[in-house]
Amino acid sequence: MNNKRLGGQTVALQTPPSVLSFSNIGGKFEGEGPLASYFDELNEDSFFGEKTWEKAESAMQKKVLQRALGKANLRPGDLDYILAGDLLNQCIGSSFSLREFGIPFYGLYGACSTMGESLALASMLIDGGFARRAAAMTSSHFCTAERQYRMPVPYGSQRTPTAQWTATAAGCTILSDDGPGPYITHVTCGRIVDKGITDANNMGAAMAPAAYSTLSAFFRDTGTRPEEYDLIITGDLGELGHGIVREFFQKDGVDLGERFQDCGLLLYDRENQDMHAGASGCGCSASVLNGYLLTGMRKGRWKKVLFAPTGALLSPTSSFQGESVPGICHAVSLSAER
Amino acid sequence: MNNKRLGGQTVALQTPPSVLSFSNIGGKFEGEGPLASYFDELNEDSFFGEKTWEKAESAMQKKVLQRALGKANLRPGDLDYILAGDLLNQCIGSSFSLREFGIPFYGLYGACSTMGESLALASMLIDGGFARRAAAMTSSHFCTAERQYRMPVPYGSQRTPTAQWTATAAGCTILSDDGPGPYITHVTCGRIVDKGITDANNMGAAMAPAAYSTLSAFFRDTGTRPEEYDLIITGDLGELGHGIVREFFQKDGVDLGERFQDCGLLLYDRENQDMHAGASGCGCSASVLNGYLLTGMRKGRWKKVLFAPTGALLSPTSSFQGESVPGICHAVSLSAER
């Protein structure tokens, strides 16, 4: 089975797993953005009917999982695994959402790369013959993230221009050994890259070298070129980080062009919604993938998409202790055809 | 490849991956316990030469990974993946330890079940043909855990009798598609079980139902009986939780007998070290496995070991909000023979 490992960090799936169904959910600001029509559910209530924002985040995950199951006519018992994680301390968004489902669960922590990490591992479990169906899921919530990483929301702290806006959103993909596509053809596992950036309000710049590292590895390992993809999309680098990655490739003589985009630059209206450098959070790339991107692929808008969300592996404690921000990026390649 | 999935939650590995090398490290109290001679390194300095306890925890992971690589004569580039996680917010123990290695990294959050989860996923990546060698690693540190979950250590808070003592320890296993054994023959992925226990100082009781659930699934799925294993060992249930699991099986008419043990009851001297209900933390089961247990298996003391660490998927925030404690247990079956 050696041909699965392409060398480097990339694996070619022998029988590319198919997307069976997908679902996303968003909050008020996501509903005011340009991708609003691609959401299954938008809720103006930041509590999603719960008593706390943390419980709200769990409720969001519960809802997207239920919807994704419903769209595929599946019960929880039909899933062999769910791989999920989130930004909350000890990943309580995922663990509390999954209490009632009884699905075998591997918990992940990849910060905002979690949608890529969960899809990558779920794909390998299916292609390796260990599962027929597996779900990949993650979420973020503006209010839980602000309280945990920065300041409680009611303080109304001023934000720096490089800051991004954590999306209140969740997304879930159900993969299967058989289905209508799109198919996951390759996965590239990221290495931690830390270039010494210590400004926790400039995560885009901190994560950009990781995105460059994983995307370069993907092209090198697969022997493909950016032009062969209709869309190469990072997770939440935002304006600054995305520009840095584009520049890194330019230095290599590679122009990524218009096909190079970022979920964080698509989720909100860059003119009329004041989100500074763009959207961020696990829920950003998760909700853009499980709405706008997968819908577009099913409709034939894009045939080959390289999805590469990045994560900043810091904590408030590590920043207080003067540490820089380690970044990671996990990529999965999606294709309309097997 | 359907015969890999035994049904239920268990997978039989077709070419059971081998333990290639293993390493552990502990602190002062671990060095005063009965398993001291099974540690590769014991350090009286709780800072492990660093400026903070969080950095100390990262240093511990760095050291065990270096030692495990050294014992197998490997360089970091020889590993296809490392799967690691810890208890610290945003798992900074793992991410900061791995910055310099450049190994493709999937971050996990399974609380104290992480050693089981990381071994399970690493085994499947190898058996599925996606990797030749992969490492599984985790850690915990008494002082970082106290500060994060309970009270800063200098407060000297009194502990309740059901409380456990978070081990200051780390462990790393390197698995390979070929090697001298022991071999990982089966993995059982846990489901979240939450029986409504809200006392965060009684984690053993909170996690016991998850251990019972996964162990029962393992025996059911594999069609084996407890008597067929030389050792069935949970991670850190402690005295109370371990007794509850034994009782659950007794109600099913199954006497687990002397072969049923718990890493948390082995790490410290139950008479002369006042650790209340026993040891806990990711580093407890990780250091007991990657020392006492794997050394014993290599020496022929045990031929078949069922290793089933549990995790309590709570956070201080979830407890403050009145939530109960969800538990999970991931099991791997180790055998001296393939």
Contact predicate A268/A289, CB 8 Å: no
- How much is the pLDDT for B2? 44
What's the complex ipTM?
A: 0.97
- The verdict on A89 touching B (C-beta cutoff 8 Å) is yes
- How much is the pLDDT for A222? 97
Mean pLDDT of the residues in chain B:
96
Task: Name the A residues in 157-216 with CB < 8 Å from any B CB.
Answer: 189-192, 194
Buried b (16+ CB within 10 A) or exposed e, A262-277: bbbbbbbeeeeeebbb
Which of A6, A106, A282 is the best residue to mutate to test the B interface, defined by the most B CB atoms within 10 Å of its own CB? A106
- The verdict on B126 touching A (C-beta cutoff 8 Å) is no
Residue pLDDT, tens place only, A301-327? 999 999 999 999 999 999 999 999 999
- How much is the pLDDT for B280? 95
Domains, chain A: 2-176 (3.40.47.40), 183-335 (3.40.47.40)
With CB atoms and an 8 Å threshold, state whether A105 touches B323. Answer: no
Cα torsion A216, A218, A222, A226: sign:
negative
With CB atoms and an 8 Å threshold, state whether A1 touches B128. Answer: yes
- How much is the pLDDT for B260? 98
Residue B315 above 60 pLDDT? yes
Residue pLDDT, tens place only, A146-202? 999 988 888 888 888 888 999 999 999 999 999 999 999 999 999 999 999 998 888
pLDDT band, very low/low/confident/very high, at A2 (cuts 50, 70, 90): very low
With CB atoms and an 8 Å threshold, state whether A192 touches B99. Answer: yes
With CB atoms and an 8 Å threshold, state whether B130 touches A4. Answer: yes
Residue pLDDT, tens place only, A271-305? 899 888 899 999 999 999 999 999 999 999 999 99
Residue A1 above 70 pLDDT? no
CA distances from A312 to A108, A157, A237, A296, B117 (A): 14, 22, 10, 28, 23
The residue-averaged pLDDT of A58-65 equals 98
Three-class secondary structure of residue B253 per DSSP: coil
| Residue with token string 């250091």 | B287
Three-class DSSP labels, chain A: CHHHECCCCEEECCCCCEEEEEEEEECHHHHCCCCHHHCCEECCCCCCCCCCHHHHHHHHHHHHHHHHHHHCCCCHHHCCEEEEEECCHHHHHHHHHCCCCCCCEEEECCHHHHHHHHHHHHHHHHHCCCCCEEEEEEEECHHHHHHHHCCCHHHCCCCCCCCCEECCEEEEEEEECCCCCCEEEEEECCCCECCCCCCCCCHHHHHHHHHHHHHHHHHHHHCCCHHHCCEEEECCCHHHHHHHHHHHHHHCCCCCHHHEEEHHHHCCCCCCCCCCCCEECHHHHHHHHHHHHHHHHHCCCCCEEEEECEEECCCHHHHHCCCCCCEEECEEEEECCC
As a whole number of angstroms, the distance between CA B334 and CA B19 comes to: 9
- The verdict on B257 touching A (C-beta cutoff 8 Å) is no
Mean pLDDT of the residues in chain A:
96
With CB atoms and an 8 Å threshold, state whether A326 touches B96. Answer: yes
- The pTM score is 0.97
With CB atoms and an 8 Å threshold, state whether B317 touches A95. Answer: no
Residue B274 above 90 pLDDT? no
With CB atoms and an 8 Å threshold, state whether A313 touches B92. Answer: yes
Contact predicate B94/B86, CB 8 Å: yes
Which of B62, B65, B81, B89 is the best residue to mutate to test the A interface, defined by the most A CB atoms within 10 Å of its own CB? B89
Residue pLDDT, tens place only, B242-262? 999 999 999 999 999 999 999
Parallel, antiparallel, or unpaired: how do β-strands A169-176 and A18-26 relate?
A: antiparallel
Residue bearing the bigger pLDDT, A161 or B141:
B141
Contact list in B for residue A90 (CB cut-off 8 A) is 87, 89, 109, 111, 313-315, 318
Query: What residue in B sits closest to A2 (Cα-Cα)?
Result: B129
- How much is the pLDDT for B132? 97
As a whole number of angstroms, the distance between CA B6 and CA B190 comes to: 15
Q: B75 vs chain A: nearest CA distance in angstroms?
A: 15
Residue B138 above 90 pLDDT? yes
With CB atoms and an 8 Å threshold, state whether A192 touches B85. Answer: no
pLDDT band, very low/low/confident/very high, at B1 (cuts 50, 70, 90): very low
As a whole number of angstroms, the distance between CA B244 and CA B98 comes to: 37
* Residues 6 or more apart in contact with residue A232 via CB below 8 angstroms: A215, A226, A256, A259, A260, A261, A305, A306, A308
Picking from A90, A105, A189, the nearest residue to B191 by CB comes out as: A105
- How much is the pLDDT for A159? 83
With CB atoms and an 8 Å threshold, state whether B128 touches A132. Answer: no
Task: Name the A residues in 22-41 with CB < 8 Å from any B CB.
Answer: none
- The verdict on A306 touching B (C-beta cutoff 8 Å) is no
With CB atoms and an 8 Å threshold, state whether B1 touches A328. Answer: no
As a whole number of angstroms, the distance between CA A176 and CA A135 comes to: 9
Query: Per the structure block, which two tokens stand in for B57?
Result: 């925890």
Residue bearing the bigger pLDDT, B1 or A246:
A246
Amino acid in position A168: T
Residue pLDDT, tens place only, B214-226? 999 999 999 999 9
As a whole number of angstroms, the distance between CA B243 and CA B275 comes to: 17
Residue B3 above 90 pLDDT? no
Parallel, antiparallel, or unpaired: how do β-strands B169-176 and B304-308 relate?
A: unpaired
